[in-house]
Amino acid sequence: MTVTANNIDLIGSVFMPPEYSHTVYGEAFFRLVLSVRRLSGTEDRIPVTVSGRLLGDIPAGGGDRLRVRGQIRSYNKRTETGSRLVITVFAKEFEAFEDGGDVNEAELTGFICKPPVYRTTPFSREIADVLLAVNRRTGRSDYLPVIAWGRNARFLAEAPVGTELSVLGRLQSREYKKRFEDGTEQTRTAYEVSAGAVEVMTPGR
């Protein structure tokens, strides 16, 4: 299996301080939420998973500034209403960061694993939704939603499953309403990589 690129660099402020998440092979992991502002002022709230070893005594309370480098990971979470895809940033480097503005830079290389969904908004903005399978060295894959706009959306609209794609962009969050069969609604947060640049590495297989 081809190992593909998966890198993200975040600088932002702690929105939700670390809380214990789980333990793997005796190592405790914690979850926090990092607020990263776009140039427009919109705030993305990004979940970060960090080991206790990296967290150490680094200040990570509300409002503290951090830099996180790592990978975007996905897993399926089973709920009473079914299974849903959960996205988190897995921290490989974690440090306090005082100077400079917010940063949100993601680099992915993976394979399109579902036919892209192309659509236009009521304001005639073109969008393409792509699900990218990004392989790890362990043999597992992360399934990461990518959203492309305008010219990139048109470019990807007809891309076949199996196409190897390189994406540069940012990990963003957005809230949406999930409606259930009984008529109830629940506010959820979706995470996706907004593509600033895309490049086909190999033709579809």
Nearest residue to 150 (alpha-carbon basis) of 174, 119, 172, 175: 119
Residue 79 has what pLDDT? 64
Instruction: State which amino acid sits at residue 24.
Output: V
56-82 pLDDT, tens digit each: 999 999 999 999 999 999 998 776 666
82-137 pLDDT, tens digit each: 677 899 999 999 999 987 899 999 999 999 999 999 999 888 899 999 999 999 98
Same domain? For 121 and 56 the reply is no
Among residues 76, 103, 130, which one ends one of the domains?
A: 103
Same domain? For 39 and 20 the reply is yes
Residue 133 has what pLDDT? 95
Q: What is the CATH number of the domain that holds 65?
A: 2.40.50.140
Q: pTM of the entire structure? A: 0.89
Specify if 1 maps to a domain: no
Tokens of 202: 């190999």
Among residues 103, 122, 157, which one ends one of the domains?
A: 103
| 179 or 165, which is more confident | 165
> Residue 160 gets which letter from DSSP?
P
Same domain? For 76 and 126 the reply is no
Tell how far CA 162 is from the center of its chain: 21
